[in-house]
Structure 1
Amino acid sequence: MTLFDGITARLVETPRLTVNILERVGDDPATPAERTVVLIHGNVSSSLFWQEIMQDLPGDLRVVAIDLRGFGGTESAPVDATRGVRDFSDDVHATLEALGLAAVHLVGWSMGAGVVMQYALDHPALSLTLQSPVSPYGFGGTRRDGSRVTDDDAGCGGGAANADFVQRVAAGDTGDEAPTSPRNVFRSGYVNADYDSDSEDVWVESMLSTSTRPGNYPGDGVPSPHWPGIAAGTTGVLNTLAPRYFDVSGIVDLETKPPILWIHGTADAIVSDTSFYDLNYLGQLGIVPGWPGADAAPAQEMVSQTRDVLEAYQAAGGEVTEVELEGVGHTPHLERPGRFRKALLETIGYIGRAADPALPTEAIIISSYD
């Protein structure tokens, strides 16, 4: 595990499983909850992805990054997808209890944002930062209003994964010869084309820490009578986001609503109204043959669904700030770290929200519902 300066790793024993966390040297375990930030990574990644932002956050905060089960240094316990992402969110809760932490500021990236939304449905949280979040209705197989397209979630889940990519993750492929290598998937899917970093090997290392054991990534699939012929199974990572198992739109009805920061990029290839990881959209483009049309297999309007739910959250009394970054991909905290840092610190109340004329155009908050 490649650790940056000032970052340490340790294992935390919980009643559920053994969890790996990253911390900063010198952070005070007695730091109050209102200055404690917990970071949850996304799919095919780990806590290693958070190291730069951990280094950059103020020293009087306590910052903890958690590896989800089957990622990084955490135990590769199987995932029961019929619980949605609750195996993950329950693991996070058990870890925080073991650390003596109650309600904290939660930051979730992609699938990790789904985990923190589920966490907020089950436990108190001081704030939620949702970076490039999965739609509140899951990944694939839903219409704009969240209704499911088929009764078996055709085109979703573990069976929809790219088999060659999965094999390359399992084999520890660090090269860039194949378009399905983890390195090239990072370059084409995780970040925009203008991103460059001396730490790319670490990001690939993080991706390769993903467990491909049965019950982990990607999960099982089952035959479907609906196009494209496969549907979500019951175990493994990708099936946790199938719409029959995952729906966190209930955050709208929370009695106590933590403030929410939604930060995302306009060039995100993964979470988008035109996602290149949505089989229905690929069918619409003719990349996956036999597409039966928009009535039978509509592309999922992921960003629009998130905006609908967060506008409803605001209308019900919640506070939501949207930061949309022009030309940024799936990973704002790597691509625009300064803007991510400022928005996060505003959300947790560490700094005020006065406009900063020095910020570049793409870093301006375009929507504030508070």
Structure 2
Amino acid sequence: MDLLPGVRSVQVDTERLRVHLLESGPADGVPLVLLHGNLSTGRFYEHLMPRIPDTYRVLAPDMRGFGDTEPLPLDATRGLTDWADDLAALLDALGIDRPPHLVGWSTGAAAITAFVRTRPAASLTFLDPVSPYGYGGVRRDGTPNADDHAGSGAGSVNPQLVASLARHDDDPGNPFSIRNVMRSLFFAPGFTLPAEREDVLVAEIHKTLLGDDGYPGDAATSPHWPGVAPGVRGIANALSPKYCRWDDIVDLDPKPPVLWTHGALDLVVSDASPLDFGVLGAQGLVPGWPGAHEFPVQPQVTQIRDVLQRYAAAGGSVRSEMFEGSAHGPCIDAEDRWLAVLLAFLADVRAVDTVS
């Protein structure tokens, strides 16, 4: 499928790796970076790019391990800092020296918070972000259920999904084909993409670097229920609470304005995600669950709200927007409204910056 009008495909050699990205807008426009999440690429934002005013230079890179970017390994012990450093190197290679507006979808949200630990940003937009305490095996305050962070990391990924990805399986009867997974988790029930567009996104996901260095990463065993713990390589381990936390944004100085957008029907980042071992154990789907006292459900949306309330109390500006009827991807299944919310937020930030 050809790129949409005004969208360009670019390969950029940086000091860290060769990055593929989609780009739109003028070279001297205000930099707006759109970071995708796990099992996706920059092309998941392509449909929005022709609709963004040409006052912005829009960059939607394929992050390490995904799409057409050089397939280098990811060091999970750094959380999403590899992604953050890759982004910094990309901006340097493009000669962009002004603070960018950053959008992070799911996994990408952890990357943009890692970016602002060392570099300024004009604003942060979280799109159904991973919890500020990482994904799996933690209590509301971020305390792990076990000292080895059992219940998180690559071992928590369903092996049938990984096997399906390796086969490029597109059997409509296979619930673990990435087409069916995308339909059931990314988008709201009843939402359908045009067939040609869905084919493009499925093909993009099938570019994922699979294995210990990519998706899901290397797994470790644990003496604690459910018997798996994070390894040290690959994207699912990078999302483990052992390595991934962004609650420290409360201490940023200065604090960039924050927009949090979230699909109310999101099953991936939820207070009761069916991907959470606490939920699976309580439902009897994973034997041996030690009970809610030992392994509670991770209240991910509540954790996000808690941290952003602390951010606001510490002087930060936070705007929140829940999208009723949307799932993990309101930028797609509620495209018009989501884009309007983003552009209004960016316009307000720019207006404040102009006055100050």
- Shorter chain as denominator, the TM-score bin is over 0.9
CA distance in 1, matches of 2:142, 2:313: 18
Among 293, 296, 301, the residue aligned to 2:294? 296
Deviations, residues 40-78 of structure 1 (Å, cap 9, x unaligned): 000001011001111221133211101111100111111
Find the counterpart in structure 2 of residue 166 from structure 1: 162
Structure 1 residues 66 and 179, CA, compared in 2 at 3 Å: closer, same or farther?
Answer: same
SS in 2 for 1:121: coil
Structure 1 residues 350 and 255, CA, compared in 2 at 3 Å: closer, same or farther?
Answer: closer
SS in 1 for 2:215: coil
Question: Counterpart amino acid of 1:278?
Answer: D
Deviation at residue 8 of structure 1 after TM alignment:
1.7
Question: Counterpart amino acid of 2:233?
Answer: T
CA distance in 1, matches of 2:230, 2:274: 18
Question: Counterpart amino acid of 1:302?
Answer: Q
CA distance in 2, matches of 1:225, 1:134: 26
Among 248, 251, 273, the residue aligned to 1:250? 248
The answer as to 2:96 corresponding to 1:101 is: yes
Find the counterpart in structure 2 of residue 86 from structure 1: 81
Deviation at residue 172 of structure 1 after TM alignment:
1.8
CA contact (8 A) 1:191 1:329 kept: yes
Deviations, residues 133-190 of structure 1 (Å, cap 9, x unaligned): 0001100111001111111111110111111111211222233220011001001111
SS in 2 for 1:144: coil
SS in 1 for 2:347: coil
Find the counterpart in structure 1 of residue 68 from structure 2: 73
The answer as to 2:14 corresponding to 1:18 is: no
Find the counterpart in structure 2 of residue 270 from structure 1: 268
Find the counterpart in structure 1 of residue 234 from structure 2: 236
Deviations, residues 186-239 of structure 1 (Å, cap 9, x unaligned): 011111112111121122122212110431110111110011111111111000
CA contact (8 A) 1:261 1:343 kept: no
Question: Counterpart amino acid of 2:92?
Answer: E
CA contact (8 A) 1:43 1:111 kept: yes
Deviation at residue 2 of structure 1 after TM alignment:
5.2
CA contact (8 A) 1:219 1:236 kept: yes
What is the percentage of aligned positions where both structures have the same residue? 45
SS in 2 for 1:349: helix
Q: What TM-score results when the alignment is normalised by the length of structure 1?
A: 0.91
CA distance in 1, matches of 2:218, 2:78: 15
Find the counterpart in structure 2 of residue 6 from structure 1: 6
CA distance in 1, matches of 2:125, 2:166: 31
CA distance in 2, matches of 1:152, 1:22: 39
Q: What TM-score results when the alignment is normalised by the length of structure 2?
A: 0.95
Deviations, residues 315-353 of structure 1 (Å, cap 9, x unaligned): 000000000011210001001111111111122126999
Deviation at residue 261 of structure 1 after TM alignment:
0.5
Find the counterpart in structure 1 of residue 354 from structure 2: none
Find the counterpart in structure 2 of residue 361 from structure 1: none
Deviation at residue 117 of structure 1 after TM alignment:
1.3
CA distance in 2, matches of 1:214, 1:136: 24
Question: Counterpart amino acid of 2:59?
Answer: V
5+ residue gaps, structure 2: 352-356
5+ residue gaps, structure 1: 354-370
Question: Counterpart amino acid of 1:195?
Answer: F
CA contact (8 A) 2:211 2:218 kept: no
CA distance in 2, matches of 1:202, 1:350: 34
- Alignment coverage as a number of residue pairs: 348
The answer as to 2:112 corresponding to 1:123 is: no
Find the counterpart in structure 2 of residue 141 from structure 1: 137
CA contact (8 A) 2:257 2:349 kept: no
CA distance in 1, matches of 2:275, 2:2: 29
CA distance in 1, matches of 2:118, 2:171: 41
Q: More deviation in 52-61 or 79-88?
A: 52-61
The answer as to 2:188 corresponding to 1:192 is: yes
CA distance in 1, matches of 2:86, 2:231: 22
The answer as to 2:60 corresponding to 1:62 is: no
CA distance in 2, matches of 1:149, 1:276: 18
Question: Counterpart amino acid of 2:315?
Answer: G
SS in 2 for 1:187: helix
- Taking only aligned residues, the RMSD between alpha carbons, in angstroms, comes to 1.5
Q: How does 1:31-70 map to 2 (within 5 A)?
A: 31=29, 35-70=30-65
Find the counterpart in structure 1 of residue 153 from structure 2: 157
SS in 1 for 2:143: coil
CA contact (8 A) 1:263 1:322 kept: yes
